[in-house]
Structure formats: C-alpha cells, structure tokens
Chains A and B, each alone.
Chain A
Amino acid sequence: MGDWLGEFEQLVLFAVLQLEDGAYGVTIRQAIEDRTGRQVSAGAVYTTLERLEGRGLVLSAWGDPTPERGGKRKRYYRLRPEGRAALTRSWQALRAMARGSGRKLEST
C-alpha cells in the first residue's frame, strides 16, 4: 500500500506542486480553501505535510522569521521526485476510474 495517497494528502500535494517556490502553510491552506471551498485547519495541513515528509514525498526548509508572524519562521515545502511520482499515480488512478462517470454524477 505504501505509496498510495489519501484524499487530503492529494489536495496538499497538488497545492505544493502548483505553488512551486511559494508553498508554505498559509498559501497551501488558502489554495485548498479557495479551490475546494473546504475549511481546513493549519494543524491538519502541517500534520499531513509532516507525515508526507516522513514518507519521503516532500522536502522542507526553514524560512526567515518575519514580524507579522510574531517572529516565527516559515516552513517551505517542495515535492521530491518520489512525491511527484506518487501524486501522478494517484491522479491517473482517479482519472481512470472516473472515466465515463461525468454525466452520471452530474445528472444526480
């Protein structure tokens, strides 16, 4: 099972992928909220990223502390090749399964 991703993990990885160099807690959270309309907590995002990092799918690095963060540092995230591969696989699997379902889903 190891490399399959949970739904929320997929959302987070898509956000990291698209934000490129600007992926950290705030932007990732907002990207998910903006695109899906789903309320997510900063703690959930962080916990997920921590887990993904533990599985070797993302890399992280400390940024500089800023005053508007109360002197706290940002933590930036990037996809590792393994993460990109896992995301691709999950996405392809989803697309393969979804094929032909569009009309049926929309008609309900």
Chain B
Amino acid sequence: MSRVVPPGPDDPPRLALRLLERHLDPDAAEVITGDLREEYRQRVRSIGRGAARRWFWRQALLSLAARARRRTTAADTHHPGARKASLMTGTAQDLRFALRLFRRAPLFALTAAFTIAVGVGSATTILTAANWTWLRPLPYRAPAQLVAVGETDRAGGLATAGFLTIQDWRARTRSFESLTPIRGWTPTLAAEDGARRLNGMRVGWDFFRVLGIRPALGRDFEPDDDHPGRWQVVLISDGLWRRRFEARPDVVGSSIEFNGRPYRIIGVLPAAFEPLISERYYSRAEVWAPLGYGPDDRSSCRTCRHLRAIGRLRDGASPGEAEAELATIQAGLRREHPEDYGEANPRVGLLGDQITAAARRPMGVLTGAVAFLLVIACANVAGLLVARSADRLREMVVRAALGAGRGRLVRQLLTESVLLAAAGTVLGLGGARLALRALAASAPAGFARLDQATADPGIWLIAFGVGVLSLLLFGLLPALDAVRGNLEGGLRASRVTGGPRSGRLREGLVVGQVAIALVLVIAGGLMFRTVGRLLAIDPGFDARGVLTAQFSLIGQRWATDEAVYAFQRDLESRVRALPGVDAVGLSGILPLGGNYDRRGFGVEGVTYDSPDDVPSGDRYSVSPGYFAVMGLPLRHGRLIGSEDTPTSMPVALVNETAARTLWPDGSAVGGRIKFGTGSDSPWVTVVGVVGDVQQYDLTSAPLPQFYVPQSQSTDSFLALVIRAPGALDGLADRVRSEVAALATDVPVYGVARLEDLVAASVGPRTFLTRILGAFGAMALLLATVGLYGIVAELVTAREREIGIRLSLGARRGEVARLILARGGVLVAAGLAIGAAGAAVASRLIATQLYDTAPVDPGTYAVAAGVLVTAAIAAHALPLRRATRVDPARVLRGD
C-alpha cells in the first residue's frame, strides 16, 4: 500500500494545479500558477482553507476558460508549439461546444450525468464490497491450500473437535502439510481505568507458520511454548501495541498481566495482518497465546469438542481427498474409542469459503441486483441520447454544410460523451465512497473485510469504462448514423424528429426499464416482508426495556464458588437500587446474545445405544430474578427461588419443548436429569416448566432448555439483565461504575439493549433489505425519468395534432386519454414482463426469505401499485401541457 502524504494547509488543490500546468503554455503556467499559489496562501489565512480551496478551483477553471477564449495571435503561429496549440484549441473548442450544449439543455445534461452516477456509483459500491467480502483471496500465503477441519455437526456443518482427536488426525494424515488447533480466548487485562476484556485466541504453536505470517517484532511461537505450564507467552496485534504500549519496541520481553497472572510478550504481529479466522469463529483477536494443552488435561478429552482445526494441504492435495483420507482415519479412531465418536465423518472445507460463507449469498444477490440497476441506467442514458440525437441532427447537418469534416463532428460527439461520462463517474464514485462507508458501518457479522473496502482503482476504472462505453454505444452510434445518412434531408426538415425507428427503440427501452424496476422493487418488497415477519416472531421473552451487560470473573480471586456467588448477589442488589430499575437478573448465557452453553444430558430411566443419540440442550445458569426480567411464563411447578441454595437439593427448570419430548406423558415436574455423560455428575430434579425461548436465531426450532440456579452452579462468564423501561439511557455507565466499585478486575462488555440483540439476529437480512430497497428506489426513479422523457416527447411531437383535434371540438379529456393510452400500453407491457421476470429472479433470493413465497401476490401487487403511481407521476406534467395546448397558436405554426 502506498503512503499518501496528506496535503499541507499551504498546498492548493493538486488536481487544479495539474490541470493548469497541463493545459497552459509554459510561460502562462509559470505566471498563473505562481500568482494563484501566492494568493492562495494569503487566502488560507484570511478566509480559511475550505473557502480558499474553492477560490482556487474557481480561479483555475476561469483562467483555463480565459486562455481558451484568447484569440490566436500572429505571434503564436511562430511559436514552436504552434501545432500543439492548435490541437489544443481544437479540444478547447470541443469542450466549449459541449459545455454550451449542456448549458442549453441543462436538464438533459443533469439527468444523463445523474443517471450515469447512479449506475456507476451503485455498481462500484457493490463490486467493491463483493470483491472484499467474497472474491478476494485471503491475505495469507497460498490461501487456496488453507482449510478448516472439524467433526460434522447434526446439521451436516463443519464443526469443532476435541484436542486428542485433532492430535490423532495430525499424526496419521498424509494430506496435510500442517494441521493446528485453535480456540477463542478472552483474557481480562487489569488497568488503572478499569478492567478490559481482550479478544484473543489460543492456537497451536505453528498457527502463524501455517498462515505464512511472521511477527513484525520479536519471535513467533516455538514448539516448546505449546506445553502446559509454559504457554504464558503472547503475541499481540499491531493495534494493541500502538494503543497500549505507544508502539515501544522494548515491549518485546516485557510482562503483561492477564487474569491476575503474568504473561510474557514475545512479539508483535505486522500491521497488515488481518485476524479473519478469529473474526469468523470468535471475535476479532488482538492477542494470541499457545494452546498449551497436555494429553491428560481435563479439556483435552475427545468429547470436549471445543477446538477448531486450521490446516494447510500438501501440494496437489484437494479438500475432497483430504476428507476421504480423514474418513479412513476416523474409522480407526471409532474402533479404538467407540464411546467417543458418532457415525459422521470429519469435514474439510476451504478456509476462504468458511470465512466468506455469510457474505456470499447476500453479495451474490446484490451483484445480480446491481447488474439490473446498471441496465436500467444504461437504458435511461440511451433513451436520453436517442432523443437528443434527433435534436442534434440538425446542428450536425448545419455544421457539416458549413465545412466541418466528419472527423471533426465525431470528435465533438466523443468529447460530449466523455465529458458526460466523466461528470457522472466522478459523481458516482463520490457516492460510492459514501455508500461504502455506510455499508461498513451497518455491516452485520460475517461481512469480514467490508470495513476495508474503500478505494479500489481497478474497479473504478471498470466503472468509468462502463460509463464511457454506454455513452459511446448509445450516443455516438445513433448520431453517427444520422450524420452519415441524412445530410440534406436534415436541413430541409423544419423539425427533425428521430423517425419511427428511434421512437420504437426508445419505447422498447422504457418497457425494459419499467420491467426491471418492478423486479427490483419486488425483490426489496419480499425482503422487507421477510424482515417484518421475522421481527413479528415471539422470541419467548419480552425484550422491551431490558438492558443486558456481560462480565467475566476470571483469575485466582474468583477460583471459589463462594467468591463468585457473593459478587453476583452484591452486584444484583446494587444494580436493583439504581434509579428506574424494576428488576435484575443474571444468566450464564443470553438468548440471541451470540453465546451459548450447550450440554449433552441424560434422562433418568433412558439409555442410549450410540453417542450420536445422546440429546443435548441449552443450559442457563440463572439467578431467581432472571425470569421476571425476561418475562418467561411459568407453565407448571415453581420457578427457581431464594430457597435454592448451594446446599439444598439440586434443581432445574425445563422448557416446554424438553417437557414435551423427554416426558411425553406430562410427568416432567419431578423427573430427573444429569448433565454430561459421566456417571459422576449428580442427578438434578425438575421442579418447573417454563416457555421456550429462541436461543440462536428467531426461526430455528427450540432445543430442550434447562435453567439451573447460579447458587448451585456458578459461571465465570455472566450476563446481567436489567428491566428498566424509560431509564435505559445512561444506565450502562452506572452499571459499569457499580461493577468497578465492587472489583477492579471484572471487565464489562457486550452492553446492549435486548431489543437490539433481537434486531441484530436478523442483521444480514436487514442489510440485504436496505440495499435492495435502495436499489428499488433508484430503479423506480430512473424508470420514472425515462417514462417522463418519452411521454414529454410524445406530447411535443403530437402538439400539432392535439391542436387540430382541439380546434375540431375534441374535449381536453379525450386528448388526455390519447396520451395516456400510449403511455399506459408501455407501462402495462413493462409490468407484465417485470412480473414474469420477478417470478424467475425471486427464486435467487428464496433462501433469504422467511414465511414469504417468492411469488407473493401481496408484494407483487403493492410493487405494481408503486410503479403505476410513479408512472402516473411521470405523466402528470406532460399531460398538463397537452391539455393546455392553445389550438390557435399551434395552427398558426408557432
């Protein structure tokens, strides 16, 4: 990446300077740029930089214009650069003609430039976004060889695996050059201004070698670091290094305290390193430590499936081959450890595909949509230019008759096209920059690199090319045709019209525009309906007026259940005392909160033949207040209360799904379950049944859910839920200070309103809806403009006829009907084609829809209604003109 030196306050706009230097003869350039620079400096001081820059641009452009106007004097012909100068004046003359033309028809020029801007801007935005989030290879060494490996989850997806499993794969495989385990890690960093939770990863020692990344400072992990007791060494990100350590090089070798224990910083990663793997599976990491598991650690077991594996395939090995080989290996493992493995075989997927998975489908849809929009824009420009070309014919013919060569005329037309395309492109690129910034700001999770998707010169060039090409194709060709065909005819005709051929072409274009606009409006409508349907789903809890905040209790101080439990109770009572707070509760995990605690469990009296059959469910370790805050309805039995203490009988609540599926005879209350498959875990008695909640998203069927009291089963990671309707503003800060008052090593993070968590769970669809909606609106606007153009033209062309009709006694209403009939046919044709097109195109977004058919009659009808309204708007002005034609004036022949 090249470093751009920001222009100093004393430097005038560089582009303006370059324009002057390129287009002025050397003496004039020296004097004029010198004068302007000198005065610019004075003006920066007197009127400020922005105003001075505007002044400079104005001066530069006016100066260029003044030079172009200058009459060629006799002295110039003796000038050595005379030939060049005459060529220059030629171009200057072209420019002048073009500008004069635009001034004469500003509506045409503006509409054309704006249309190109819409096309170029939206195409650039989407292509750039698609390029970064989807197409661009991962920024690691030989990214096509990088894969993710894991066991297969119930849905057939590539999931996690246990430590010993990954060890065995690594030892037995021949398809991989390397295979390394990873997991998320969120250490707490104590600091004077409050504890912070850092996002990080624990990784096999060769993780960065697999990616081909070397630390910019210090050293990489070595095999020796990846051992129990020796793994307290960390690599930190460039960002953390600059933010926390002022980019001091001596940070390498120094100590940093995480969770109350010292870690040694051994290196700093390069600034260009993008932690995409952590972003995909965990949170964007800033600190990395070795995994440091030993074979006998509690977390190392084969069924402790919490690790993922990243691998590099050997040269020539494909993911399919690797998967086949792992299947054989897995068969061996299954024989050796029959109780630990189910029937499914491990999966191998390209890392690039895994990382871009969430963005691919929406970006694909948007790329298709933007292609449609581009077609409309081109059609619009084409329509405008075809209309113009009729008008231009006369001018061209006159100029040809006065002796202008064909080449000269072609050059003139070219200049106009390029000028329009340039104006439109510049406008469009400006819009694209803003749009990309807005996209990055509203990007849902999974659109990994969207925040970097800015300047992409290659795509800009393509965009500009498309702009120019569309103009040339649609503007130059018809004009050339006209110049060639119709030299004398053009002079004689008092009003040159485009003739029947160009008329039909334009009508065809308008029909196409209406059709495509309808497709885009329908697509936006279907998505809008989907999001509405999703948000109307009852998540099982009442999200209104609830703030959530997460915190973690990690380190020596929180090693005992008593310490954790005491902290929780203190925190709850302090927060309950805050103004406006109605109720407070705690839970280990939050529905739709992005975290989960999924456990395998057994039911008393039920045995399972295979590990595949052991059911699993979501476990919520909660305080008694949780149910009131979340508004969870009690169906049977009792809730968890203060009577459930560390020493009383272990109890649990189950959700309705669990009660229905595990105790079909309705005997859930009084039933007993145990978590985990080990025989040492205690039996827990079910004392109540509560409603289902949506844990992962709004649409999946709920799993069995269990609520156990925090008093009997404490968690290190906790979420506070606070019901405080009307008092949510500023509550987060008050909660933070309550936590800080209790302990300085407890970081608060993930503060969010529960309603926002619900909204974020449909984030990708909302994102798609917004963009498709914007496209639909732009398409509608362009189609309306196109339609307006052709109706206005129709009125102009038939003004005489209308006048005659009126003078022969036709009523104004009949005239209006005449105009409406033609426009109506075009709109109806467009709607019919568009509806058919939408029925096909909407299948592309079928997977994004929820409870909405791709051919949803309601949506189609509303979209058609919107288009008809727009069409009526497009007819309004021309109609007004048509019905006010003055027969006397028309018949006089103006």
Contact = CB atoms under 8 A, between A and B. Distances in A.
B66 A26 contact: no
B34 A29 contact: no
Contacts of A73: 30-31, 34
Tell which of B31, B59, B66 has the most Cβ of chain A within 10 Å.
B31
B36 interface: yes
Contact of A70 (B37, B69, B73, B75): B37
Interface residues of A, number: 23
Nearest to B64: A43
A65 B35 CA distance: 11
A3 to B, nearest CB: 17
Contact of B30 (A29, A68, A72): A72
A69 B37 CA distance: 5
Contacts of B75: 54
A26 B32 contact: no
Given A41-B59, A51-B73, A54-B75, A46 B31 contact: yes
Interface string B57-86: 011001111110110010100000000000
B714 interface: no
Interface in B37-51: 37-39, 41
A47 interface: yes
A74 interface: yes
Tell which of B33, B39, B75 has the most Cβ of chain A within 10 Å.
B39
B28 interface: yes
A26 B73 contact: no
Contacts of B69: 47
A84 to B, nearest CB: 23
A25 interface: yes
Interface string B163-180: 000000000000000000
A25 B31 contact: yes
Nearest to B17: A70
A24 B30 CA distance: 13
A107 to B, nearest CB: 35
B36 A42 contact: yes
Contacts of A80: none
Interface string B83-109: 000000000000000000000000000
A42 B59 contact: yes
A26 B41 CA distance: 12
Contact of A26 (B24, B35, B58): B35
A9 to B, nearest CB: 13
Give the secondary structure class of A's interface. Answer: helix
Give the secondary structure class of B's interface. Answer: helix
A68 B43 CA distance: 13
Contacts of A69: 34-35, 37-38
A46 B32 contact: yes
A24 B36 CA distance: 12
Nearest to B30: A72
A43 B66 contact: yes
B66 A44 contact: yes
Interface string A73-90: 111000000000000000
Nearest to A71: B34
Interface in A11-56: 24-26, 29-30, 41-44, 46-47, 50-51, 54
Tell which of B24, B41, B70 has the most Cβ of chain A within 10 Å.
B70
B66 A68 contact: no
B66 A72 contact: no
Interface residues of B, number: 26
A37 B34 CA distance: 23
B59 A68 contact: no
A74 B75 CA distance: 22
Tell which of B30, B33, B35, B59 has the most Cβ of chain A within 10 Å.
B35
Contact of B37 (A24, A29, A68, A75): A68
A29 B35 contact: yes
A44 B24 CA distance: 13
Given A44-B63, A51-B73, A54-B73, A25 B34 contact: yes
A47 B73 contact: no
Contact of B35 (A25, A47, A50, A54): A25
A20 B63 CA distance: 25
Contact of A72 (B33, B65, B70): B33
B38 A46 contact: no
Nearest to A41: B62
Given A25-B31, A43-B32, A46-B28, A72 B37 contact: yes
A95 to B, nearest CB: 29
B41 A68 contact: yes
A34 to B, nearest CB: 13
A25 B35 CA distance: 6
A72 B66 CA distance: 21
A26 B67 contact: no
Contacts of B32: 25, 42-43, 46
Nearest to A75: B31
B7 to A, nearest CB: 13
Contacts of B39: 26, 29-30, 42
Contacts of B67: 43, 46-47
Nearest to B33: A72
Contacts of B36: 42
Contacts of A43: 24, 28, 32, 59, 62-67
Contacts of B38: 26, 66, 68-69
A72 B31 contact: yes
A43 to B, nearest CB: 2
A52 B66 CA distance: 15
Contacts of A42: 32, 35-36, 39, 59, 63
A82 B31 CA distance: 24
A77 B134 CA distance: 63
Contacts of A41: 58-59, 62-63, 65-66
A70 B36 CA distance: 10
A72 to B, nearest CB: 3
Contacts of A46: 28, 31-32, 35, 63, 66-67
Given A42-B63, A54-B75, A47 B31 contact: no
B19 to A, nearest CB: 12
B29 to A, nearest CB: 8
A26 B10 CA distance: 17
Contacts of B58: 41
Nearest to B69: A47
A42 B38 CA distance: 12
B35 A24 contact: yes
A66 B36 CA distance: 13
A43 B33 CA distance: 9
A47 B66 contact: yes
Nearest to B29: A72
A25 B37 CA distance: 11
A13 to B, nearest CB: 17
A66 to B, nearest CB: 8
Nearest to B42: A26
Interface of A: 24-26, 29-30, 41-44, 46-47, 50-51, 54, 65-66, 68-70, 72-75
Given A25-B34, A29-B39, A46-B28, 11 more contacts: A26-B38, A41-B58, A42-B59, A44-B63, A46-B67, A47-B66, A47-B67, A51-B70, A69-B35, A72-B34, A73-B34
26 contacts: A25-B31, A25-B35, A26-B35, A29-B35, A29-B39, A41-B58, A41-B59, A41-B62, A41-B63, A42-B35, A42-B36, A42-B63, A43-B24, A46-B32, A46-B66, A46-B67, A50-B28, A69-B34, A69-B38, A70-B33, A70-B37, A73-B30, A73-B34, A74-B31, A74-B34, A75-B31
Q: Which 3 A-B pairs have the closest CB atoms?
A: A43-B63, A72-B34, A41-B62
